[in-house]
Structure 1
Amino acid sequence: MRSCDRLGAKKMLTRNRIYPPAGETVDVVVVGAGGAGLAAAIEAAESGARVVLLEKNDAPGGSTAWSIGSVSASQTPHQRAQGIADTPEAHWEDMPGFAGDLADRDNDALRRILCDAMPDTFQWLLDSGIRFMGPMPEPPHRVPRMHNVLPNSRSFIYHLVRRARRCGVDIRVRARVTELVLEQDGVRGVLVECGGSAARRIDARGGVILAAGDFTNSPELKARFMGPQEAKVDAVNPTATGDGQRMAERCGARILNGDLALGPEIRFIAPAKENFVRRLPPWRSLAAVMQWSMKHLPDAILRPFLMKFLTTALAPALALFEDGALLVNTRGERFGDETDRPAYRLPDQPDGIGYIVIDGRIAERYSRWPHFISTAPGVAYAYLADYRRNRPDVYREAATIDGLAAMTGMDAGALGASIAGAAGPNALARAPFIALGPVRAVFVHSEGGLRVDEQHRVIDAGGQPIAGLFAAGSTGQGGLLLKGHGHHLAWAFASGRRAGRLATMAAKRTSGSETRAETA
């Protein structure tokens, strides 16, 4: 049976399903309390809607809370303070430079919406209490547009949750939406399980907004759109399981660009305990102090602080492998050419982890510019000494190969054979010998979102809007390509706000129709 036939059959079965009666009816239901869902809920509530925001996890956050926290925008106060003249039009023109050969798969109309919405959306974030450093340059942007949140990405969630509660959003956690209620006239509401209780129906007059993130941790969807090897790779956000995409497909929706993703890429395992930078409270006063410090304190004082962040959050540079670094598994065995997509092979190794092995020659090379272990564009660069100081849990150094094997638990014979087998001008021969790791393969985010129109309504296989169903953020990416730092979060906030307003307008139209019917 063809894919479209299967979806049509699912849609018919869903339409014929008998649902329980609604336990409550509100104006707007938002599924997912990450950046997009919070923005949608706030905008809907501030537009006069009664809003329920449902989050399956123990607390709001989603992938936004896992992010580095950059937002790209034009015409910001930060740009003006630096004398930078910029426009949404220029931003729109520059974004295809990130997409490269994939630019013809982009959704130009949604890209226009994103760029046009960001000046006001950035100010909206500032008005919510969120503070940024920047803007930072990132070619092919013609001017600096990347703004990095202070003190960390949890600031988004902290301030937006407070704003949501102030405007009356009903936030419910441990509330897993299991199904969309689809009747002949469209999506009427959701079925939700709260704390293990039986599914309860909540209807929405204006519509349901799906803002449940991407499917980077759904083996089923990754296998279908990317391939069986990609299906083995975990995600940075373990709860990004494509719930919104799956539920919408049962209603006839389509996923676009499901084969595109950031990853798999190699990343160091997270520290057992978060460092103090990730634990910093997202207070506005603290962010203001940090903002002042970024402008006025010398790099010698700022750099150690930034390194605490960089060595926790970022990936090792692949240039290490071009300079002779080896990737071995926990037994010390090399398992392929390190310059040929090594992250794809890591999941097949014991425990899915490996180690990057270097010698004294590479260690000396990666101790200064322009050779760095990790970077956040425009912010700072982390060298080998930064990892030795800030991440002793992923840094092992020994005078001999046997000594390094003993420190990491590898087989000395296997590690020695791996190093000996990589002969050539970049062979590892000079003490000391260093192992960086464990490292693992992860997906950071995927581009596979539901097809939506310019009003963020979910579109079915026949090209028609599914009544009562909206999508925002990664769930409603609609074919838009968001390469480059800061565009995924920008789309989350911009699309979430717009979807919230549009769903509220639909709720008011429905309420008006019901009032007129009662009067008649």
Structure 2
Amino acid sequence: MATFVSPPDSPASMEMKAVARTGAKFDVIVVGGGGSGLFAAVEAAELGRRVLVLEKNPRPGGMTNWAIGSLSSSGSPMQKAVGIDDVPHDHFADMALFHGALLSRDNPELRRAFVDNVPQTLKKLLDMGVVFFGPMPEPPHRVPRMHNVLPNSRSYGHALYRRARRLGVTVLLNHQVTSLVRENGRITGVVAENAGVEWQFFASGGVVLAGGDFSANREMKQAYAGETVSHADALVTTSTGDAIRLGLGAGGEVVNGDLVSGPQLRFIPPQNNLMTKLPPNRFLALVMKWSMTHLPQALIRPFIMMFLTTVLEPQKKLYESGAILVNRSGERFTDECDKPQFSVPLQQGREAFILLDGALAETFSKWPFYISTAPGVAYAYLPDYRRNRKDIYYQAGSIQGLAAKIGVPGHALEKTIAAYNQNPRGGTPGLIRAPYIALGPVRSWVLTEGGLRINASMQVLTPEGKVIPGLFAAGATGQGGIILEGHGHHLGWAFTSGRLAGRGAATIP
């Protein structure tokens, strides 16, 4: 059985510290307990290795828990079931079609390793009990390849952790890895801190760095991507690039550090959404899958949307149609159609509200005027947010009433809307008809795309391309060079690179 360590000073934690004093040697050590780290641990453990996972947070899952949940792959059983004959070679070619001007910065060797191995990754997830709906189309993929997890993305971490536990993987939570141990030019272990106490752990095989990106590290964002990007928030506040810095300290380098996903304006995560808190139960997922396949959309839609209106991105059409952004002072502070994601982080609380009137509310209640989209599954309209995101939906019969609900000065909001109505966006009448509606807060989120330089075996490389013996990287930490445009490629890479890194660390001669 896996060892799940409780917070510091609990009996379980004290017991593990006793074990650590006398048995600190493992075959493979994984730094990070998110999707890529857990998959690395599972792969190494399936090869019969003794594996340790060190996670700095109080629970595993990492960024995977916040993902939309899609995974793109060729050669899946779901594709074959609907008569789709798809192969990695075609997936390799189609991925390049997403890249545009970034194609010259892609690493074909890593892209090839990904597409060749992601079908086995998907198969392993299916074997672990993960349920998918699809495949769904996403041009320019020539065939449907996007598989959407049910009931939500926490299913991945749940399945991976359960598999790791059954394989006997040791998982230490609340353990921050502070440095790597090097002996005779090879990485042989780590130093980790827990509750102010340092522990050394050694690996006879390899060490896998799988600690995520640096989207919550302002200094790193500023250094690699610039001052403007540095102000954007991170979806996961603990994504501080710790594992990447460990790799840099060992002689590695960051590739594509200036590339980011976003910044994007997204709604804040749900505070009390029951559906996103449901356990990722396989039976529930199967019921959802059956319902989505067999029941009328009008019947199943309200239920499905409860899972989807989470941290989605409002579409630009909303602003083009006349909606405006206001800050906590009730002031309009930007041109909403000219990169507002760069202005929002500079406002009080680093957030803003989207304002609509009754006419816009009617418009954005039906196709083709949706508020946001969840890829391959559904469009979310204003009634979906009114029903499922009561924590970010506010409505009142007057501007003063709306101001009171969102906590901004009423006189300032009235002044702002009056000024806007004197010169509304071209082709729109202004915000003149009750009821008045606010959605938000919205914040500017960013994911960093740069990671440690690696080869197709997930070994960390120096700037000169030399292997750093004993050191591997996976997921966002090891994204050094591969471009992952298109839905389903980030998660696919996280899991597949984790598998390959775990295998490599487990088979060092």
Normalised by the length of structure 2, the TM-score is: 0.92
3-state SS of 1:234 partner: coil
User: Structure 2: how far apart are the matches of 1:360 and 1:403?
Assistant: 14
Number of equivalences: 484
1:370 aligns with 368
User: Structure 2: how far apart are the matches of 1:399 and 1:283?
Assistant: 42
3-state SS of 1:30 partner: strand
1:12 aligns with none
2:441 aligns with 438
Amino acid at match of 2:245: R
1:90 aligns with 90
Whether 1:251 and 2:250 are equivalent positions in the alignment is: yes
Amino acid at match of 2:236: N
User: Structure 1: how far apart are the matches of 2:282 and 2:309?
Assistant: 25
Whether 1:319 and 2:317 are equivalent positions in the alignment is: yes
User: Structure 2: how far apart are the matches of 1:398 and 1:197?
Assistant: 51
Following superposition, the deviation at residue 109 of structure 1 comes to 1.0
Whether 1:290 and 2:270 are equivalent positions in the alignment is: no
2:207 aligns with 208
Amino acid at match of 2:352: G
Amino acid at match of 2:252: A
**Gap change, CA 1:22 and 1:472, over 3 Å in 2:** farther
1:283-308 Cα deviation digits (max 9, x unpaired): 22222222222211111221011211
- Uncovered stretches (5+) of structure 1, i.e. residues with no partner: 1-20, 510-520
Following superposition, the deviation at residue 22 of structure 1 comes to 10
Amino acid at match of 1:77: P
Q: RMSD value over aligned CA atoms? A: 1.6
3-state SS of 1:206 partner: coil
More off after superposition, 153-162 vs 224-233: 224-233
Equivalences for residues 12-161 of structure 1 within 5 A: 24-161=24-161
1:218-260 Cα deviation digits (max 9, x unpaired): 1111111112232222211111111111111111110011111
User: Structure 1: how far apart are the matches of 2:357 and 2:278?
Assistant: 36
3-state SS of 1:440 partner: strand
**Gap change, CA 1:255 and 1:359, over 3 Å in 2:** same
Whether 1:457 and 2:456 are equivalent positions in the alignment is: no
Whether 1:224 and 2:226 are equivalent positions in the alignment is: no
Amino acid at match of 1:396: Y
User: Structure 2: how far apart are the matches of 1:53 and 1:366?
Assistant: 47
User: Structure 1: how far apart are the matches of 2:125 and 2:404?
Assistant: 50
User: Structure 2: how far apart are the matches of 1:271 and 1:473?
Assistant: 26
Equivalences for residues 285-434 of structure 1 within 5 A: 285-422=283-420, 423-424=423-424, 425-426=427-428, 427-434=430-437
**Gap change, CA 1:282 and 1:409, over 3 Å in 2:** closer
3-state SS of 1:229 partner: helix
3-state SS of 1:403 partner: helix
User: Structure 2: how far apart are the matches of 1:330 and 1:30?
Assistant: 43
2:8 aligns with none
Is contact 2:268–2:311 with CA below 8 Å preserved after alignment? no
1:17 aligns with none
More off after superposition, 359-368 vs 450-459: 359-368
User: Structure 1: how far apart are the matches of 2:458 and 2:332?
Assistant: 48
3-state SS of 2:442 partner: strand
Is contact 1:229–1:344 with CA below 8 Å preserved after alignment? yes
User: Structure 2: how far apart are the matches of 1:208 and 1:281?
Assistant: 31
Identity percentage of aligned residues: 53
Following superposition, the deviation at residue 23 of structure 1 comes to 6.6
User: Structure 1: how far apart are the matches of 2:28 and 2:406?
Assistant: 53
Is contact 1:189–1:203 with CA below 8 Å preserved after alignment? yes
- Uncovered stretches (5+) of structure 2, i.e. residues with no partner: 1-20
Following superposition, the deviation at residue 130 of structure 1 comes to 0.8
